[in-house]
Structure formats: structure tokens, C-alpha cells
Structure 1
Amino acid sequence: MPESAETVSGRVTEAEFDDYGVPGVTVQVEGSERSAVTNADGRFTLEGVADGPVVLLLDAPDYAAARVQLSPEARARPVAVALTWEGGEVTELTVPARAQPETASTTQLTPRDIDSAPRRNAEEVLRQVPGLTLVQHGSEGKGHQFFMRGFDAIHGADLELTLDGLPLNEWSNIHAQGYLDLALIIPELIQGVVVTKGPFTLEQGAFAMAGSADFQLGTPLDERGWRAAYTAGTTNRHRVFTSYSPAEGDGQQFVGIEATHDDGFGDRRRIDRGTFNGRVRLFDLGAGGAAYLTGLGSYSAFELPGTLRNDDVEAGLVDFRGAYDPLARGTSARGLASLRYAWERDDHEFALTGYGGYRRLELLENFTGFLINPEHGDRRDQVQETGSFGLIATHESRLLESLALRTGLGLRGDVFSQRERSVGQGLELLAERRELDGVQLIAHALAGLRWTPGERVRIDAGARVDMIHVGVRDGLEDDARGGDTLAVVSPRLTAEWSPRDRWGLFLAYGRGFRPPEARAFSSFDPNRVGLGDEVFTGGAPVATVSDGVELGTRWSPAAWLGFSLAGFATFIERESVFDHVSGVNLDLNGTRRLGGELVLSSSPLPWLSLSADLTMVDARFVGSGARVPFAPWLTAGARAVVTHDSGFRAGLRALTVAPRTLPHGARGATMVRTDATLGYRWRWLRVDLEVENLINQALREGEYHYASHWRPGEPAREIPVLHTTAGPPINARLTLGVQF
């Protein structure tokens, strides 16, 4: 959370040895008598600095002077400055500000936010976003399940995730539409995340019906140079991480490697993973132009616990954190490379990015036991291989001082193959369930205007057109071919009016979409038994489209206090959710979601930040009035973060999720989770302790209601029952890191 606007703080280091904090540096506000002197670790705090942009003048014996420009947004967090030896030129540094929020509910996570809560992987960084809930109904190697604003986004069907603008959702993944697995991203190299709730901006593409999150890679100034860390945890977790980013650079060039082993907190939760992230500047073309090559790769091998029947747990037949299937497992491999060229000249900004990737995912799972095949069991083996490619071009030109034109073109495509087999207890082949190959493409064009007629008004309006093409070959139907070409037009609007300083009113409208999965164009007809009477039974495959609107406000009545309030509504003519019984997405009847979000934040002291949030949503089918299953109707959170000049830091986070509505009239359980972090940094040494589930609750993270049978030889009953995937008990991880 930001520091008080009347306080400016930071750390001064030496450019050649950025772990060395320079003591005795005089830091003065230009045009003022306000000044401070850095302590033994190079840290300083300036009190009573007037609102608005500020320039700091730094002076120290034996070092060249520095002049640092801070915008009102940039000064709200600690600034890092590296001094060069005396005899060099005066250092001119402009600290970039975070982007202005597009909507009342826009959330921006900084490195300080990311450090303040436990995280096993990149997905868990998103736990800090108000109203966004993550659960893990597999193990760490499998993608998370996301809930936001009344959407059960499964593994990513309704939440678009991008990496520096590159799409990460896997279209037509065999396990779930829009599947997300962020093992590709090393958490320490996340410089920030921008989350937009709702499909309101032109950049948001496929799968952003509930919203989107853009992960931005880089290295913060005070963490550049060589870093290495080792983590040991109570679940026999061992992790090694090392990275390098030039100390004198801007943090956009880096290389990082991590390797992880963890036995997990229960049966069938072991994981082994290795990940590489790197970026290098290839060349400069002058006039502000530069080209960057980015490469990421990851491989994971993991076990899968599956879900457990609640009645079996209560009867003592299986442990709460146990598993039925002793062979359930998976492997995940993914690589992504991109080349980006961008330049800025006069009133024009242009960027062109090309990318390519490879993906292989294999899952061996059993959700229903011996329900479908009483003799051999219902175990299925799924394999997905995908080659991806894409090109994104954006251009912004200022037509007038108050008017800018934004345009863009893009293409993303996949060449994929899917195989699914039913296998027996000895993994022998029982039946081929899927053999599908195909090509899928989405081409888009966008155009919009940004109008700022004065300092207090901003209006962004435009539209994007997405052309969707799918062509498949079904190997189980004598190589029968199917496909279609569809179009989606998505108008987008965001507006802000600030009638007074520190107070803004926001309006947003937009259309989001999810492309149909490739299997919908084959002859496959799912066994629609999982979700009762709401299944949509007529019509050809179409893109699922949502229309959303948000009205809200942001207000800071004092420099140390702020809040945001937003009301939202989403309407979907033809819903789609994932059914674990049939293992596919099912088309359902139309739905609507109405809700509100409140976020309070406070920085009563320069080193203390507090926040609380509450999100409520009523999600129902339009015709029947029945609740949409799985998504929670209420989530609430609270957080406290301490960051002291002495190098001490700490964080405490609590989350409450109300009981979720499940199919067939069932209800889940309330979930309360509390996590904590504690850390200290002294020169080149860093120590961090992370504790999950601090109060050791029996967390029911994944909850479902369907029929299963796990007692072969006994008669099966097709009556739906509650199933659970357990969350972690109290566990801890200790990390020792060095920087030089």
C-alpha cells in the first residue's frame, strides 16, 4: 500500500555496489528547506512535503550529485537512487509513476505488495486482489481455479491473463477452456500486476469476461545485481533461485532460474519444477527505439490428489488431505519467446511484438471412481500439445493536445492436437475418448480515442473486432472435419471526472467474449448430467459474450486515507461452465450478475499500511432465478503491511469466503484463511519467513457436488454428493537470500 502522500522516503545506494547503502547523503526538496540525511544503511525519510510532483537534490562527498524527479504517484512509494563516483555528470532520474486507474476498481500490485504475502508461485500473487479468490483443487503443478465477480472462471475461462501484453490463456486446452498455468513465471521477477475487473479497455481480448490481469516482468532498482536464495519448508520444500540484472540498468534486462521440490501437505501433492526467465536488449535504433528479446521456459512433474467425498472423510475411510487414486499425476512443459520493438517520437508511440511458443500437458486423473466403468474404473489420460504464434501492433498518436488516437492489430494462432483415453487400473487402454487435431485463429483490430478536455476529465471510447476461425479433424469419426468463422464486435468505454482534488468518479462499459472450444465443432456430444435443468440444448457453437457496466468512485479525504466503491452488472445471453462429470464445458441458459465492491486503505504511519475490502455479488440464471453455481456471493479481506527503514518488514492477510452455491441445491462451507510474512534485510543478506493458514483451519478450497463411486464390487449410486479438495494446513517456509 502507498506511503503517506506527505512523506517521501527511499534508499540511496552506490551504483557499482548496489547492496551498499550510502550514509551521510543530504537529500533536499528542490525549492524548499526540507531536507534529510541518509542513515547508516542509506535510507532517508522526508516529512511534511507538500502535495504534487517533487524534485529531490542529492549531495554527498565523493559522489556525483543527483537530481530525482517524482510524480505525485511515484512519490507514494519508496524511491531508490544509485549514486556514481565524483567526477561524473549529475545523475538525472525520473521515477516512473504507475498507470492511472482506468476504472474505480482497477488494482495495481507493486513489488512491495507482492513481497507482503506468501506466494508459492506466480498465480498466488493474485490473492492480494480484492474480490479475486484462488483455490487449488489439484496440486501446485496444476492450474488454479479462479473466482471473481460471480464468475467461476475454472482454470481461466473468464479471466484473461497476459504477460507484458502477451496472451497466456490456453484456448481449447483439453482440461479446461482458457486453461492457465503460470509456472512459466518466476515470482521474484514480477515487477507489477495490473488487474482490470470487467471487459472495459481496448487491450482486453479473449477470456476477459470477468476481467484481466497483466503481469509485468522486471527487476526493481534496489534488487538489481546478482541475487541468490534458498528456501526450505515444512512440507519438505526445497527451492533454489538465482538471478542477475545489470545494476546500472533499468531493470528490463535480466536472467533468472529457479528449481523446486516439494512433497506437499498431503497425499499425492509432490512437485518437481524448473523455470527459466530472461530478457535482453538486442539493439537501439535511436529516437527512443529499442528491441528486446524475452524467453521463458518451464517443466513440472507433479502428483494429483483429486477430490474426496465428504461422507467418506466423515466416516474415516479416507484422510481429509488424502487421495483415492495412487497413480494420479501430470507433467507440464511450456516455452514462450517474444521479440518486441518499441519507439516513441514526438507525438507518436509505436510497438510491435512477435511471439511463439510450445506447450505439452499430460494429466492422469479420476474424478468419479468406478461410477461409469464399475469393473475398470473411470481413470482418464489427457494429452495436449500446442504450437502457438502471434503478432501484436499498437500505435498511439496525439491529434490535438487534448485528443489522442489509439489503434492496434493482432493475430494469435494455435496448431494443436488432443488425445484422451480411458485407462484401467494397470494403465491399460480401455477406450479412445478423443483424437482431435486442428488450427484456431483470432485476428483483431481496435481503434479508440482518448479525450482529456481538461485536468479533471478523461474519456476513452472505442471498439475492437475479433475474427475467430476454427478448423478441426476428428480422428474418432473417420477424420471428419468441422469448423467455422465467427466475429465479435466489442465496444469499450471508460470515463473519469474529478470534481475535486483527491476525488474521482468513474464509468465503464464493455463487451467481453470467450471463443468456443475446438471440440464444439466436432461430432462430440457430452453426457450432460452435471448441472441439471439449465443446460442449453439448441444452436450451433458461438462465442460466449458478456456485457458489463461499472459505476464507482475513488476518494482520498486525507493523504493517509482512501477508499474506492464500485457497483457492477454483467449480462450473458448464453452461459458456459465446466462440468467435472462429463469433463467438458457445457452451454447453459442466460445469466446476470449484480454486485458491489468496497476497498478501504490507510497509511497512518510512514511504515504502516492497512487495507480492507468487501465484495458482494448476486449471480443468477435469468429465466429460472436459480443461483449460478460455484462462484461465492461474498468475499472479504483485510491486510496489514509494515516496511521499516531498519530493513524490517512484515505482512498479515486474512480472507473470508462465504459458502458457495453448488449444483442441485447444495451449499459449500465458509472458508477463512490467514497468512503472514516476516522479513529482514541487512546490506547483502535477506531473510524471509512465510506462514500459510496461520490459524490452522481445515480449509475446503475446492468444493463440488456430483455423483461418484469409489467402492468397486458394490452397487453404484448415482446420487450427487459433496466433494472437497483440501487446502494446506499451517505450514512455513524460510528463505535465505544474498545480493551482490
Structure 2
Amino acid sequence: MRFLSTLLLIFLNASFTFAHLGGITGTVRNDATGQPLPGVTVHLTGLGRATVTNELGQYRFVNLPPAPYRVELSFVGYQTQTIVVEVKDDEVTTVQTRLTTASIALNEVTVSALKAHDQQLISSLDIRLRPITNSQEILRLVPGLFIGQHAGGGKAEQLFLRGFDLDHGTDIRLTVDDMPVNMVSHAHGQGYADLHFVIPELVEGVDFAKGPYRTDKGNFTTAGWANFRTRTALDRSFAKLEVGQYNTIRAVTGLNLLGANGIFSRNKNDVARTGDQSAYVASEYSFSDSYFDAPQHFKRVNVLGKYHGHLSPGTHLTLTASTFWSKWNHSGQIPDRAVADGLIGFFGAIDPTEGGEASRTNLNAQLVTVTPRGHTLRNQLFYSNYNFELYSNFTFFLRDSINGDQIRQRERRNLFGYNGSYAIQSQVGRSQWTTTFGAQYRQDLTGAGATPTELSYTRNRTETLERVQYGTINELNAALYADEVVQLSDRFTLNAGLRYDFFRSRYTDLRQSPATGRSTTQGILSPKLNLYYTANPRLQVYLNTGRGFHSNDTRVVVAQNGPLQRTGEMLPPAYGSDLGVIVKPFPKLLINAAAWYLWLAQEFVYVGDEGLVEPSGRSRRMGIDVSARYQLTRHLYADLDLNTARPRAIGAEAGQAYLPLAPVFTSVGGLSLQNAGPWSGSLRYRYIADRPANEDNSIVAKGYFVNDLLVNYSRRKYMLSLSVQNLFDTRWKETQFATESRLQGEAAPVEEIHFTPGTPFFARLSCTFFW
């Protein structure tokens, strides 16, 4: 009886204690725009309890005894704020907090176990320390990612990362606001990713990771992925005018429609200031003749509109519509011998009639709901109408000694799809669990009531000589995934996931009469396992492992007696692993280093005479990535990225195992000045070492070292900027290929380096007004 009485007393005491516990719920917003801030770290000082704000900027602490609590809120690029919250008996205290932007202090940056799977501290720092001057600079924000333009600015850039010549996106997944950029089975090559529809001034951040380790990232995620986030709201309207050498002019405007100073805001302190809704429109116009001997006549127009509104306290809707158009001439790739013999200059052209035209219109709707229990439901619908036409001449007169070898690659495409996920947060003992289930769908249609996918031989961009490929593509990709992030303790975090992708590809050849169609299907399972150990706020060790894939071009997969028809290899897998460390050996020094390995079942190889990428054999890559950020003074920062790789083909003959154009060593770095009175800017370099241009390394693509300069002078109402590319006027080759070609009048073809010259000294002045 005494034992039962004791149990009853314990129960009553526990009931009484818990009955008088309270809690804290809060919302964190950007002070300038009123928009919620997800990803803010919230600490209960002295208690060792912490959390991260959700999509709506919300956080919550429960089971708190009545007392005053010090709540510390911190986020990279914002001023850390500490507030005192009084918790009362049986009450949940609600607080609203606004964070203001501030200069970054590296001694305040901590390595967090809360965001182990998602944290890319260097990305968050760089977007605030390196002002973006053009759309190409967006891609350079990813450490180790190099780009090369070989069509004067209109064509998508050639990409290099982790020992890959990625062509235009074969092994890297690029998205904008989670909408796909890569084009499957594209007229110019698999994975073609043109980011020129992004207005650089609207980029708020870049999320990225290297390797195939994320469950929610599917096709093309082998070398890595990057998602560019555009601004949800403008804190104020702006207009920018930029002029430069080579008849360059660029104008950008952004109009805040509903914000605190918006055109249609009713009251400076009403709903617009709370961040419940915002809207803006922006536009960009660019023109340049560029530095080539044959004027480029480059023109680009971008228009974007975005609305963000809260449908309820727990649901917000974001609608984005944009359209893009570009047209240009370009000088193409020229052979070394033509320059050496004086046939053309370094910036000359063999076929000056090369050029192209591209356009893309996008609709993107994103709906996010956070339930009262803290579950997060995401739904996204997207649609793109895309048009592309490109004229190139890679081999000059190799195939046709009379008319030349100019080709036209053309298509009109409709792309639409859905991304959805449901995330559940729970606590088991001291462990925090985040379970996510997701579904994704994408379909690409070319030639549906419009221009089919085409490869033809042409002359002077006006006459069609022969159609090599002409047909329609219908490619479907559906995926399901499950992902679990478990914070087992304050130090140890585990992430495990499983993804299944299903593909159905169909190609209809319109050259045949009647038109014939072939199709194929295949699926692939991609497991992931990632481990993180955070020893303290200055040190984290991680191990990433996973399986990914890149899809093959529909035209190659379904071709009768094609190279993949026999093997059924539509979705060749990739296996990767990273062993890395994030460390702060000193308060103002942050280092991220990783040793990595990647094995591919099938390599993509560039074929110069057709201007296409074709599948080849197996390959493996291994290397080391090191990124360091150091704060020299209150306003001056230094950064350094070093990336090594050893890419090799598997099963190749001795001396024939090199992967053409794959980089073996790259480095970027520089100094950035931030908020030194009215002054800011950067002095940067980028370096890529010599690399093999063919399988036996008998032809070498020469490396280069180039510097860029940016200086800004800012006042409340305006900003003046000077941007200089290639500060020391280095002569360099931006893209290089080992190509067999024949010039007019040559008796025999020659295989050697063909290149596009890099930008000479190129200065631009701009003035931006704010209101």
C-alpha cells in the first residue's frame, strides 16, 4: 500500500509540474522587406536548446518552466539579436522579431549540428561578399565550378567541375527556384542548361552541393547540383544603366509594387510592412558587339514578375512569370593554325555567319503550408515554353569542300511538371527526426504542333542542304523518394534516403514516310547515406555516400541498332563518396575540405564534327576540394578555392585513358571589401591548369590565369560601379577542343586545338538609382 501511495505522489507531482509548463513560439522576418526568414538559428541561451526557423520563419520551444529566457537569433548576413521572453504558467508566449542586414563577421559564424545536412556556409557567405555583375558570375559562385563561353554570350556556357567537362550540363543539375534548367535530349546536347533567363540582380542566394548525395535531386546530379533562389521581395525599387567597351549597353529595372515603398502600397505600415504580401516586376535589356572582329550584334531581353502572399497564417503562395529572348552572331571555334599562319586574327572567324536565337517563357507556382503540428507541405507546378536555334561550324570544309560544314540545331519545346513533398518533424527522447516523403514529375515534348528537334547541314544560315535528324521527343520522368534526417545528439546527425526514378522516352523520326516512332522505359533506384559529427561549434566531420545517374539522349537510346539499344543503358548510374571537414581553427578563418571519389557507368564524350555529346565507356574520378575564407579586417575578406582531380577512363588501353578536356587543377580566389563607408568591391583571380584535350594527351588544352576587378561606391539613393574583366589584358583561350577540320583549299584535314578567345580588357561603368 505504501508503494502505491508513493507512485501516486510521484504521478501527481509530475502532473502538477507539467501542468504549469509554458512555451515560446516566434516568427522572424527580414526588417527591410517584412518577409519571413527560414533557416535562422534560435538558441535558448544557457540551456543548450536550439532550433531552426521553418519556411514561414517560425520556431517553437515547449515544456519550459515559468521564468524569463534569453533567446538569441543568428543568421549569416544579419545582425545577431538577443531578446528576453517571459514564460508564464500554462501559457505559450508569442514573439515577433525582425533581423536587419549587417556586415558579416566570421568570428560569429558557427558550425551547426542543426543544419548539418543542408549547411553550405561558404555559399551563404559568398553571395553577400561577391557582388554579381552578369549572369555568368552566378555560376562562378559555386566553389570549383568553371565556365567557358564559346558563342559570344548567347549560347549556354560550357561547364567544368570535379574533373568533368560537363559540356553544357550533362552531369550537373541546375534549377532556378526549384524549376529545372537542364533540357533532356536537347538539340545541341544532353543536359543543355541555359541560365541567361535569370536577371543577376534578382539572385538572393545559391544552394549547392557536390556529388550525388541528396535524395530530392534526381537526373544529372552526379558532379553536383545548384539551385538559384530569386528574391521573394524587393526592399526598394531600382533602375540601373550600364555602359562599356565594344558598344555594350545594359539597362535593368526592378519595381516594388506592394512593399513598404511599393507603387500600389496603401499605407507604409499596413499589410505590406508585415510581409503578408509582396509583388515586383523587373526587366533587363542588353546589347553588345563584343570584342570579336565580326560584330556580335548580341541582344537580350528579360522580363520577370513575382508575387508572394499569405493565404492563411500557415500557408504562403509564390507565383513567378518570366520571359526571355536573345539573338546573336558569333565567331565560333577557330583553329590554331589559322591564327599562326595569319589567315585570321586571334579574335577572327572562319565562318562569320554562325549565330543563334533562343527564348524561354516560364510559369512557376509554389505553395507551402506549415500545419499547427509543424509539418511542412510543399507543392510546386511549373511550365516552360522554350525555343532554340543555333548555327555552328566546327569542321569548316571537312565534310563538304564546296558548301562547308555549317549545321543548324533547332527545337521548340514544352516542359511541365510537379514537385511535392511532405515533411514531418518529431522528437524521440533527445533525438530529433525529420521525415520527408516526396514526389516529382516532369515531361518534355518537342515538335508538338511546333518545330521538331532538328540537326541539319546548312549554308549561310539561310539554305538547308541535308537533314541529319528531324523528329519529335516525348520524355517523361516520374520519381518518388523518402528521406530521413536524424539528429541523434547535439553532435551526431544521420541522413538516409531512397529515391526511385522512372523514365519513358519516345522518339518519332519524321524523315521517314510514314513517320516511325520507337520508345523505351527504364527505372533506377538511388540510395543515399550521409553521416555528420559536429565535435563543437568549430569542427564538423562528414561522410557522404550515394548513387546518382544521368539520363541518356532519347535519340540515342531508342535508335534502331543504336549503341544503347543492345545494352539497355538508358540511365547509367554513378557512385560517389565524400569524406570532408568543416573547421574554424581561428575565429576569423573558415575551411571546408573534402576528399572525394566518383565512379560512372558511362561517360559522355564531345564529338566535334557533329557538335554533339555521345555516350562512351566507364570512368572514375578522385580528388580533393579545399575552400577557405578569412576575415583580414573588419571590412576586408580573403577567399581561396583549390580543386584537384584525377579523371580516367576504365578499361582503356595504356596511355589512352585520359578524359578529354577534364580539368585536373583549378583555383579561384581574391579579396572582397564590404561596407567600408560607401566603398565595396573585389579583386579576383581564376586559374585552370593545362589539361588533356584528347585520350592520349598528345594534344593539350592550355591553362590560363585571369583577374577581374569590381569597385562600388554606394549612397542611400544611388550606387556607382566599375567592373573590369581581364584586368591585365591577358591573352587566353576560354574554350578549347581537339577537333579534326579542314580549311578551304587544304589538301588534308588536321587535328589540333580549336578555341574561342577569352575576353580581353573589358571595362564597364554602371549607375543604379534606388527609391
Q: Provide TM-score, normalisation by structure 2.
A: 0.81
Of 167, 171, 174 in structure 2, the residue corresponding to residue 158 of structure 1 is 171
- Deviation (angstroms), 1:543: 1.2
Deviation at residue 318 of structure 1 after TM alignment: 0.9
Aligned partner letter, 1:465: Y
Q: Is the 8 Å Cα contact of residues 712 and 719 (structure 2) preserved in structure 1?
A: yes
Q: 1:321 aligns with which of 347, 351, 361?
A: 347
Is the contact between residue 647 and residue 658 of structure 2 (CA under 8 Å) also seen in structure 1? yes
Which residue number in structure 1 is paired with residue 303 of structure 2? 276
- Residue 401 of structure 2 corresponds to 374
Tell me which of 679, 695, 698 is aligned to 2:712: 679
- Aligned partner letter, 1:364: Y
The aligned residue for residue 572 of structure 2 is 544
Q: Deviation at 1:75? A: 5.1
Q: Scaled by the length of structure 1, what TM-score is found? A: 0.84
Query: In the aligned structure 1, how far is the partner of 2:118 from the partner of 2:626?
Result: 10
Alignment of 1:239 with 2:250, yes or no, is yes
Task: Find out whether 1:350 has 2:377 as its counterpart.
Answer: yes
Partner of 1:410: 440
Residues 1:501 and 2:537 aligned together: yes
Going from structure 1 to structure 2, the CA distance change for 1:498 and 1:486 (only over 3 Å counts) comes to same
1:296 aligns with 2:322: yes
Q: 1:490 aligns with which of 485, 507, 526?
A: 526
Q: Distance in 1 between matches of 2:754 and 2:115?
A: 40
Cα RMSD, aligned residues only: 3.0
Is the contact between residue 497 and residue 504 of structure 1 (CA under 8 Å) also seen in structure 2? yes
Change (3 A) 1:338 1:129: closer
Unaligned segments of structure 1, at least 5 residues: 1-11, 17-29, 33-51, 55-67, 81-88, 527-534
The alpha carbon displacement at 1:175 in A equals 0.3
| Matching residue of 1:58 | none
> Could you say which residue in structure 1 is the equivalent of 2:614?
586
1:335 counterpart residue number = 361
**Alignment partner of 1:707: what SS?**
strand
The Cα offsets for residues 656-693 of structure 1, whole Å up to 9 and x where unpaired, read as 10012111531111210111100011110111111101
Alignment check: 8 A CA contact 1:268 1:323 kept: no
Question: Which whole-Å deviations, capped at 9, do the CAs of 1:32-52 have from their partners, x for residues lacking one?
Answer: 9xxxxxxxxxxxxxxxxxxx9
Match of 1:574 in 2: 602
**Offset from partner CA, 1:123-157 (integer Å, 9 cap, x none):** 32221332111111111111000000011110011
Match of 2:127 among 90, 95, 113: 113
Post-superposition shift, 1:584? 2.5
Does the 8 A contact of 2:127 with 2:204 survive in 1?
no
* CA deviation after TM superposition for structure 1 residue 365, in Å: 1.3
- Distance in 2 (alpha carbons) for counterparts of 1:118 and 1:226: 18
C-alpha distance in 2 between matches for 1:525 and 1:70:
65
- d(CA) in 1 for partners of 2:478, 2:564: 28
User: Highest relative contact order (Cα 8 Å, sep 6+), 1 or 2?
Assistant: 1
Aligned partner of 1:736: which letter? Answer: C
Q: Relative to 1, partners in 2 of residues 1:91 and 1:689: Cα closer, same or farther, differing over 3 Å?
A: farther
Contact 1:521 1:541 in 2 (8 A): yes
Comparing 417-426 with 490-499, greater Cα deviation is found at 417-426
Matched residue type, 2:235: R
Q: Distance in 2 between matches of 1:236 and 1:439?
A: 42
Hey, what's the Cα distance between the residues in 2 that align with 1:523 and 1:559? 59
Amino acid at match of 2:283: I
The one-letter amino acid of 2:732's match is L
Structure-1 separation of matches of 2:561 and 2:521? 21
CA shift in 2, pair 1:549/1:94, >3 Å: same
Q: Hey, what does 2:6 align to over in structure 1?
A: none
Provide the residue aligned with 1:532 in structure 2.
none
Give 1:405's aligned amino acid. Answer: T
The secondary structure found in structure 1 opposite 2:692 is coil
Length, aligned pairs only: 664
Tell me if the contact between 2:31 and 2:99 (Cα under 8 Å) persists in the aligned partners.
no
Q: Describe the shift of the 1:309–1:70 C-alpha distance in structure 2 as closer, same or farther (beyond 3 A).
A: farther
Q: CA deviation at 1:700?
A: 0.7
1:689 aligned partner: 722
Secondary structure of the 2:196 match is helix
Find the residue that maps to 2:192 and give its secondary structure: coil
Structure 1 distance, partners of 2:119, 2:594, is 6
User: For 2:227 and 2:157, how far apart are their aligned partners in 1?
Assistant: 17
Q: What SS is found at the alignment partner of 2:506?
A: strand
| Residue 399 to residue 488, structure 1, CA distance change in 2 (3 Å) | same
Q: Specify the alignment match of 1:447 in structure 2.
A: 482
Amino acid at match of 1:581: D
Map of 2:770 onto structure 1: 739
C-alpha separation in 1, matches of 2:503 and 2:738: 34
Partner of 1:702: 735
**1:35 corresponds to:** none
Contact 1:344 1:350 (8 Å CA) reproduced: yes
Which one of the candidate residues 453, 468, 485 is aligned to 1:433?
Answer: 468
Residue from 686, 708, 726 that aligns with 1:655: 686
> Is residue 2:457 matched to residue 1:422?
yes
Distance in 2 (alpha carbons) for counterparts of 1:275 and 1:611: 32
Q: Following TM superposition, by how much is the alpha carbon of 1:304 offset from its aligned partner in structure 2, in angstroms?
A: 1.8
Letter in 1 for 2:683: L
Structure 2: gaps spanning 5 or more residues: 1-29, 35-43, 53-69, 82-93, 102-108, 261-272, 447-451
Is contact 2:117–2:495 with CA below 8 Å preserved after alignment? Answer: no
How far is 1:420 from its partner? Answer: 2.2
Partner secondary structure for residue 750 of structure 2:
coil
Contact 2:280 2:307 in 1 (8 A): yes
- The question of whether the paired residues in 2 share the 8 Å contact of 1:278 and 1:296 is answered with yes
Rounded Cα–Cα distance in structure 2 between residues aligned with 1:703 and 1:536: 29
Percent sequence identity is: 24
| Aligned counterpart in structure 1 of residue 207 of structure 2, from 188, 194, 197 | 194
SS at match of 1:184: coil
Q: How far apart in 2 are the matches of 1:563 and 1:108? A: 9
Indicate whether 1:471 and 2:529 are aligned: no
Question: Cα distance 1:604–1:518, how it changes in 2: closer, same or farther (>3 A)?
Answer: same
**Contact 1:107 1:129 (8 Å CA) reproduced:** no
Map Cα deviations across residues 87-116 of structure 1 (whole Å, 9 max, x no partner).
Answer: xx9973157999976569946535863663
Residue 513 (structure 1) shift: 1.1
**2:216 aligns to what SS in structure 1?**
coil
Q: How far apart are the structure 2 equivalents of 1:405 and 1:285?
A: 25
Is 1:92 paired with 2:123?
Answer: no
C-alpha separation in 2, matches of 1:654 and 1:444:
41
Amino acid at match of 1:692: Q
8 Å CA contact 2:159, 2:168 repeated in 1: yes
Task: Report SS of the residue matched to 1:600.
Answer: strand
Q: Is the 8 A contact 2:147 2:159 kept in 1?
A: yes
Pair 1:362 & 2:389 matched: yes
Distance 1:70 1:378, change over 3 A: farther
User: Structure 1 counterpart of 2:638, which letter?
Assistant: L
Letter in 2 for 1:254: Y
Counterpart Cα distance in 2 of 1:53 and 1:236: 52
Aligned counterpart, 1:5: none
The code of the aligned residue for 2:143 comes to P
Give the letter for the 2:98 counterpart. L
Q: Hey, what does 2:414 align to over in structure 1?
A: 387
Per-residue deviation at 1:553? 0.3
Contact persistence 2:526–2:546 (CA under 8 A) = yes
Decide whether aligned partners of structure 1 residues 336 and 598 sit closer, same or farther in structure 2, where only a CA change above 3 A counts: same
Residue of structure 1 aligned with 2:149, choices 132, 136, 140: 136
Q: How many angstroms apart in 2 are the aligned matches of 1:684 and 1:203?
A: 42
Query: Per-residue displacement from partner, 1:55-106 (whole Å, max 9, x unpaired)?
Result: xxxxxxxxxxxxx97634x1555689xxxxxxxx997315799997656994
